[in-house]
């Protein structure tokens, strides 16, 4: 067993390559083999969001606090809040982030390899469409 106290989780800035606004990651798992569970805590400041992306084996998001939005490339949009769970199936292109006036902390669970980023940022129009 491994125990990591909350004070020992290192929250690192995401950078701007695949995100808009201020986003930080806290690594929660240590995958030791290909296909193992990858668990991340992700803190989105108000108005921040990911770029369009997908996951080879899908993604589960658990909203730990705050409120946000997730949208698929097909146009389905859902507002999320504390306690909600969202599942993006394998290969579904989507983005997610905090609402304009709320932070959002999410637990992101994936397997099957790294995030597959498109070359597109989420536009202000896409972000505001709810």
- Assigned domain for 1 exists: no
- Assigned domain for 16 exists: yes
Q: Can you give the C-alpha Rg of the chain in angstroms? A: 14
Q: How many domains does the chain have?
A: 1
- Assigned domain for 74 exists: yes
Tokens 């997908």 sit on residue = 54
Average pLDDT by stretches of 10, the chain with 130 residues = 91 95 94 83 98 97 98 95 98 98 97 92 90
N residues, the chain: 130
Q: What is the pTM of this model?
A: 0.92
**Closest alpha carbon to 17 in 42, 47, 53, 46:** 53
Confidence at residue 122, expressed as pLDDT on a 0 to 100 scale: 96
CATH of the domain at 19: 2.60.120.10
Q: Do residues 130 and 77 lie in contact, with contact meaning Cβ atoms separated by under 8 Å?
A: yes
- Assigned domain for 125 exists: no
Domain that holds residue 56: 10-113
Tokens 């902390």 sit on residue = 105
- Assigned domain for 4 exists: no
Confidence at residue 34, expressed as pLDDT on a 0 to 100 scale: 74
């Amino acid at each position: 067993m491994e125990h990591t106290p909350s004070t020992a989780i290192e929250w690192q800035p995401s950078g701007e390559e695949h995100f808009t606004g201020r986003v930080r990651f806290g690594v929660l798992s240590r995958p030791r083999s290909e296909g193992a569970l990858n668990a991340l805590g992700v803190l989105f400041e108000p108005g921040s969001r990911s770029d369009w992306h997908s996951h080879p084996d899908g993604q589960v998001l658990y909203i730990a606090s705050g409120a946000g939005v997730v949208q698929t490339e097909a146009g389905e949009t859902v507002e999320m809040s504390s306690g909600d769970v969202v599942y993006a199936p394998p290969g579904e292109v989507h983005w997610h982030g905090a609402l304009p006036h709320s932070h959002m902390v999410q637990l992101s669970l994936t397997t099957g390899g790294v995030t597959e980023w498109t070359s597109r940022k989420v536009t202000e129009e896409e972000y505001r469409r709810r």
